[in-house]
Chains A and B, each alone.
Chain A
Amino acid sequence: MEYCLTTAMLCKQYKSFKALNGLTMHVPKGAIYGLVGRNGAGKTTLIRLIAGIQEPTSGEYTLYGVKNTDREIHKARRHMGAVVETPSIYMDMSAEENLKIQYHVLGLPNYEGIPELLQLVDLDGCGKKKAKHFSLGMRQRLGIAVALCGSPDFLVLDEPVNGLDPQGIVEIRELILRLNQEQQITILISSHILDELSKLATHYGFVDRGAMVREVSAAELDAACRKCIRLSVTDTRALCRVLDGMGIEYSIISDTEADIYGEVSITQLAVALDKEGCDVRSMHEHDESLENYYMNLMGGGRNA
């Protein structure tokens, strides 16, 4: 698999506080990579490092195969756009002026592409309105447009829906999906709004205390979070015989518990188990969401 970003044992220490503690991650090309973690887990620190705003204390990362210690890393960063924490825009300028400024920062020869960018982020009707008079969602979209100047292949978004109203959240989500699907831009998105992330991400990285706890693809996560019925019985061997006979997929959890996948007739199952001399003690639907998965992974007790 080709990766546009990898990190290896990345560490960042602020005085005595270790914000990143040996974080290793892999962002595949073309993915929407959701970086999940509670506040202070190290998500923003990681983004600051890969954006070149700060230097790692130890460890390394590669951007399109170029190591952070390599002189060429500055060129590799030209493939990347980022919105770190708040949108980086001049508040006393209009959307178009902000994009013109960024075009010059990049050394682009002309302003071709600015109308399309403004249209893409739905800011083409703003005229000379200054960014300080924009809503939070508009500023966020302008920040993304600035990050998209120079047509990057890799977009890093730090908490892009934080503080947005439902309408703003939907707009940002649609924009991210469009960028990924229509322009094949790889997107790294950090968030602790898990429900929102689950609508976007193709890959997940779960971060806690500055380290990667697990990296999974959305398909793997779906399998782990599959809907099932958790059954508690007196005899799981009898249960296995009955389920095998009925051709139902299942997994045994313990001597008395099993998860049953797919549609099943409860009456038929209960009758068949009764014939085998097996009592059903309890039965409930088990639907593990991304939130449950996250809580189980992090050991629960702490909020994302």
Chain B
Amino acid sequence: MKIVLTPDWFLGFDVLIELFSFIVLVIFLISSIQNYRMNKNKKNFLYIGIGFGLIALAQLATILTKTVLYYDFNLIRQVGQAIITSNFVSSVDIFYYIGFFFYKFLTLVGFYIIYRLHSKRTYLGESLLFGYFILISALLSTEIYYLFHLTCLGILLLIMRNYYGIYKENHFLNTKILLIAFGILSLSQILFIFPNGALQATANIVELISYTLLLFLAIKIGKNGKKKKSDGDNIRYAGGNPSKRRKH
């Protein structure tokens, strides 16, 4: 059975795309943690940071696994030979399966956390059930590869529904960009479902577009934060009208 469905001509590029995604996710992780350190009363900064952090870890797991799989490092070769001489050939496969399992499991948990942020009520039973399905789909994905992408697509659609609701309320361009980025990411998951080399490569490129948009958003958030108000010399969000807000 093929461990990776990426076509041969695209091998290596997929790792680069995942490395790029990892960097973007780490930027959001750092940003979230910095915001949480600034305002510790707002736990949602921490939770969204954990969500991005887990997805970043997932990307790291797949980067490491694929790097070992694609490139013949001496150390790995020695380990592989040692395993082969011991007649435990399947142990090498187990390494890949464990690596990809962590990629799938952490990705799903990360997206689930981002989805749960906007849920009004959290029932422990419901979260446990979701956790169980996430675990099952990550485990079974080694045999039924598209199960992971289907589950990921489901959670991404739920995230999109949440952000669509937020966008309807705030009409904020950044939220719209976020919504589009998650939409493109969902599209990549649809493409990943099909076991066709060209479609797998296309899915990777679509994923790259999505993360590029997220990087653009991260830069925009940083730049807008420093922007000055049109009517004065104070920065964008600070200030406002204190007399309307404060009661003595």
Please say whether chains A and B are actual partners in one complex.
no
B interface residues with partner A (beta carbon < 8 Å): none
A interface residues with partner B (beta carbon < 8 Å): none
